[in-house]
Amino acid sequence: MFSKSQYEDARDIVYRSMQPTLQYNWPLICELTGCDTWVKHENHTPIGAFKVRGGLVHMHRRKQAGQTGGVITATRGNHGQSIPFGARIAGIATTIVVPEGNSVEKNNAIRALGAELIETGSDFIAAADAAKQIAAERSIDMLPSYHEDLVMGVSTYAHELFDAAGELDAVYVPIGLGSGISGVISARDMLGLKTDIVGVVSENAKAYALSFEAGKPVNTNTANTFADGMAVRVAHPDAVDYINKGAARIVAVSDEEIAEAIRIYYRTIHNIAEGAGAASLAALLQERDEMKGKRVGVILSGGNIDTDKYLTVLDGGVPAP
């Protein structure tokens, strides 16, 4: 858990560049879930996803430390927007490595932020391996997708949610590399709340669910889900430790359930959710009977879904991974 002063420092950095996002207990969502459901709108940040907060904190601290020689990192998209967003403010060059076949629209957004974009590797882990090699060749720093600064930055959205909604019975949080759920656990603990933090993974990318069950990092061979923000097959040991100590459970959802949750967000509150962004609602609907009548938060972590995939979902289908 971070100290109050660490959190306040991160909060001040974040709010220099963006306003807090809102959270609502939408009546139609509450009707469908059978409980008092608060939707945290991280799809409304300057990059359309929660990760911008961590990028702002990390790049500001790099500048403060005089580490301005440039960074490289691997991503499927939102992390790759957060780092150049913060780096542009700090005046630091960034290189972003994404796997081949990555989201075209996320790639365009990364380039628009001034980053050099490199497409290589069959998936996120292959792209991360390539990024490490490039970092060594160019003598620049390799930034992992899970880092203390990133967790502190994204914890600010959890504080906003708890400040507005009060103590909740549970909060459902999608898991990619783990910074988001770690930030929510940190905020819960700092505020001394008893809220259950429920992690959400794709049933086709269960590394963190398996790690939770085993009590140690467990990797998978594939991560075949259209919810690219959760398409992770190698669990980060630090994230596993944090999650296993602080989460109540982890729920796995199918691509079909995620697609239906995206449709629900559109037809009820006319908000766009990407796959990972809709996963927490999908998990709550899966556990609807157990959560009936309770006060629950769901993190709409991002809205960056490619147009063709979104149209497939709205047409009743499930996009290919």
Strands, sheet with 295-300, edge to edge from the N-terminal-most edge strand:
23-24, 36-41, 295-300, 170-174, 196-202, 249-253
Q: Which residues contact 5 (CB under 8 A, 6 or more apart)?
A: none
CATH number for the domain whose boundaries are 52-142: 3.40.50.1100
Taking alpha carbons only, the member of 219, 180, 3 closest to residue 82 is 180
Give domain limits for the chain: 4-50+148-314, 52-142
Angle at 269 between CA 264 and CA 272, to 5 degrees: 70
Identical fold at 4-50+148-314 and 52-142?
yes
In the predicted model, residues of the chain with pLDDT beneath 50 are none
| Cβ proximity of 37 and 30 under 8 Å | yes
Q: What is the pLDDT of residue 176?
A: 95
Angle at 171 between CA 98 and CA 254, to 5 degrees: 55
Q: What is the pLDDT of residue 1?
A: 67
Q: What is the pLDDT of residue 14?
A: 98
Q: What is the pLDDT of residue 83?
A: 97
Does CATH number 3.40.50.1100 belong to domain 4-50+148-314?
Answer: yes
